[in-house]
Structure 1
Amino acid sequence: MHKDELIQLHTLMAQIKRYFESQGIEHDFEEYQSLSISPMHIHRSKAEHKHAIFVLGNHLASIISEDENSSIAQTTSRMQELAAKSGNEIAHSN
């Protein structure tokens, strides 16, 4: 994916996060917030946006899996793996 596409995806996921929050769905987004990156931070690297997408995706999948006992719970595990992998890539590139 190109950086602009990742930023668009990050924007969509941030909107989903805000929607859940507006619906009164409580979730601790501390890990995502600790990254201090939003879709508006276009100067941040492609790798940082990718990592933020995986971390935020993990949070969103976790919220969804709380309501459903389906294969969605597996999505949470996969997002955690991808977030860890992309985080390692960022650490090694610095």
Structure 2
Amino acid sequence: MHKDELIQLHTLMAQIRRHFEHMGMDTSFTEYDSLSISPLHVHRSKAEHKHAIFVLGNDIAAALSEDDTSGIGRTSERMHELAMKASGQLVNTN
């Protein structure tokens, strides 16, 4: 990947992190935070952004594995719920 593509991916993953935090998910991004790099640091090297992406990806994967809705048996049902919600057709079944 080119550096600009890595920065775009880094940006997307940082947005996913912010979404998790906004949702109140109890996740730790301490290893990523210790890198002191963000997608806005365009002056940093391609290798630094690549490393940050892998570290952040690992933290996101860990957060997903702790989430109750991430079980393999619930994946299809959850995707269906999200699709219905996105189209405005979600009916509360609780």
Aligned to 1:22: 22
Q: Mind listing any 5+ residue stretches in structure 2 that lack a counterpart?
A: 73-94
Q: AA paired with 1:40?
A: L
Aligned to 1:54: 54
Note the C-alpha offset of 1:28: 1.2
Aligned residues: 70
Note the C-alpha offset of 1:43: 0.2
Note the C-alpha offset of 1:32: 0.2
* TM-score normalised by length of structure 1: 0.71
Note the C-alpha offset of 1:65: 1.2
Note the C-alpha offset of 1:69: 4.0
1:61 and 1:31 map into 2 onto residues whose CA distance is 13
Higher helix share: 1
Aligned to 2:65: 65
Per-residue deviation, residues 8-50 of structure 1 (Å, max 9, x unmatched): 0000000000000000001111100000000000000000000
* TM-score normalised by length of structure 2: 0.71
Root-mean-square deviation (CA, aligned residues, Å) is 0.9
Q: AA paired with 2:51?
A: H
Q: Mind listing any 5+ residue stretches in structure 1 that lack a counterpart?
A: 71-94
